[in-house]
Amino acid sequence: MDTFCSVVKFENLQELKRFCHWGPIIALGVRATCSTMAMMGSVLWYWPLHTTGGSVSFILLMNWTVMILYNFFSAMFVGPGFVPLGWKPENSQDSVYLQYCKVCQAYKAPRSHHCRKCNRCVMKMDHHCPWINNCCGHQNHASFTLFLLLAPLGYIHAAFIFIMTMYTQLYNWLSFGWNTVKIDMSAARRDPLPIIPFGLAAFAATLFALGLALGTTRAVGMLFFIQMKIILRNKTSIESWIEEKAKDRIQYYQLDEVFVFPYDMGSRWKNFKQVFTWSGVPEGDGLDWPIREGCHQYSLTIEQLKQKADKRVRSVRYKVIEDYSGTCCPLNRGVKTFFTSPCTEEPRIRLQKGEFILATRGLRYWLYGDKILDDSVLEGVSRIRGWFPRNCVEKCPCDAETGQAPEGEKKNR
């Protein structure tokens, strides 16, 4: 109920500006198109309301729409939760383990990161999502993930209605000679005829809505599985990249240590309960976090400071081995790369074989970094920044910034 009230009241009317963005406009447009066509197809052309199946189907369609929109608006307007401006740890000595944000004039709490779009430090930041025009973080992670679950289920139901509507109408028109196919077509026979006949325009609109439903189901479904994978490990997308760079740092310098992610409770169920609760409010205040036995409250932030001090792991150098056109969803880079394209406003960068990239973060099949245009890039200038597929680059054996580290440096570290 608290979540609902916060959505309705809008603590700040400026939040309404979140609608003025291509992400929410497209997301709500797709939802409106599919819901409208599914209800019309069900009531007018395929499954009339006076039948039991038609009534149940219509109620389900309404239910999907309400739940999807509720979680969508919750994720958008409740927000991820922001670190208070001017925040500092209770124990002043702990500040040595934390990074300081000059924009927010505050220390970054554990698991928080500064978002350039929101212009605030976000609690347990996962990513900035253009579809809700807001960050996904501590307070809205559950509602965002529920939206990713419910949306494909609703679109699958709508797609079934679209397919059966077109099939029954085409059956009545042409029959196609499918006399041996035993399907009960009584629901498609109307007496009297429907108010709006199923003509060519209705067929085209239904076919278009079917394409939207299937495409959205595939894309959003992939995002749901990605989110559930990191939730069951009690991580975020950013923390997964930090962990990957930590292992790379240890391997490169041949250190006698093992990086243990401090927020993994050791059980998928316990990790799940950190995000999903019956009250709808996530556990914790977003500033202090429970940690597994043997770990330090600031283990992850200490690792971030190490990586920030180490230029080699701050940006890992890659060499381009295959050309990349810079398209959003490249078909020629493989099925997994196509379906896991990052849903973000950040651009893609065009790559040519032989060029070099400094990667600063990444996903399983994508990397984000700066393209080196000339030698002056190494001095911190002339960079083009964006996403690119992992399978078109290979990691350079040398140091990302300054070349191969000396053998003595490896041993000393």
d(CA 57, CA 63): 10
* Residue 291 lies inside a defined structural domain of this protein: no
* Residue 55 lies inside a defined structural domain of this protein: yes
pLDDT at residue 77 in the model? 92
**Domain of 362?**
315-395
d(CA 258, CA 247): 8
Let me know whether 348 and 223 are in one domain: no
pLDDT at residue 55 in the model? 87
Picking from 18, 4, 31, the residue whose alpha carbon sits closest to that of residue 135 is: 18
E-state strands within 232-329 = 316-320
Contact 360, 370 (CB under 8 A): yes
Let me know whether 224 and 335 are in one domain: no
Residues 6 or more apart whose Cβ sits within 8 Å of residue 307:
242, 245, 246, 249, 313, 314
- DSSP assignment of 144-165 equals HHHHHHHHHHHHHHHHHHHHHH
Residues 6 or more apart whose Cβ sits within 8 Å of residue 224:
145, 148, 149, 152
* Residue 183 lies inside a defined structural domain of this protein: yes
10-28: b (≥16 Cβ within 10 Å) or e: eeeeebeebeebebbeebe
Beta-strand relationship, 393-395 and 316-320: antiparallel
Q: What sign does the dihedral 203-209-211-213 (CA atoms) show?
A: negative
d(CA 389, CA 338): 9
Q: For 148-173, what is each residue's pLDDT tens digit?
A: 999 999 999 999 999 988 888 777 66
Angle value at C-alpha 129, between 121 and 32, nearest 5 degrees? 140
Let me know whether 64 and 178 are in one domain: yes
Upper half-sphere CA count for residue 385 (Cβ side, 13 Å): 11
Mean pLDDT (the chain) is 82
Picking from 119, 100, 111, the residue whose alpha carbon sits closest to that of residue 139 is: 111
Let me know whether 208 and 330 are in one domain: no
Let me know whether 214 and 334 are in one domain: no
What number of other Cβ atoms are within 10 A of residue 308's Cβ? 11
* Residue 240 lies inside a defined structural domain of this protein: no
* Residue 403 lies inside a defined structural domain of this protein: no
Active-site residue set: 129
pLDDT at residue 255 in the model? 83
d(CA 268, CA 274): 10
Which CATH number do you get for residue 383? 2.30.30.40
Last residue of a domain, one of 176, 198, 232: 232
Helices (H), 253-362: 268-273, 299-309, 311-314, 335-339
Let me know whether 228 and 319 are in one domain: no
pLDDT at residue 314 in the model? 57
Domain count across the chain: 2
Last residue of a domain, one of 179, 210, 232: 232
Let me know whether 217 and 349 are in one domain: no
Residue 81 to residues 90, 122, 137, 280, Cα–Cα distance (Å):
19, 6, 7, 14
pLDDT at residue 398 in the model? 52
d(CA 271, CA 263): 9
Last residue of a domain, one of 193, 208, 232: 232
* Residue 94 lies inside a defined structural domain of this protein: no
Contact 151, 68 (CB under 8 A): yes
Let me know whether 53 and 186 are in one domain: yes
* Residue 177 lies inside a defined structural domain of this protein: yes
Residue 379 to residues 299, 372, 375, 376, Cα–Cα distance (Å):
31, 11, 8, 5
Task: Tell me: cis bond preceding 192? Omega within 30 of 0 counts.
Answer: yes
* Residue 209 lies inside a defined structural domain of this protein: yes
d(CA 383, CA 387): 13
Let me know whether 29 and 143 are in one domain: yes
Let me know whether 223 and 341 are in one domain: no
Over the chain (413 residues), the average pLDDT of each successive run of 10 is 48 72 93 92 77 86 95 94 93 89 93 92 93 94 96 95 86 56 48 67 92 93 92 92 84 83 92 91 89 85 81 72 88 84 82 88 85 57 78 74 38 38
pLDDT at residue 8 in the model? 45
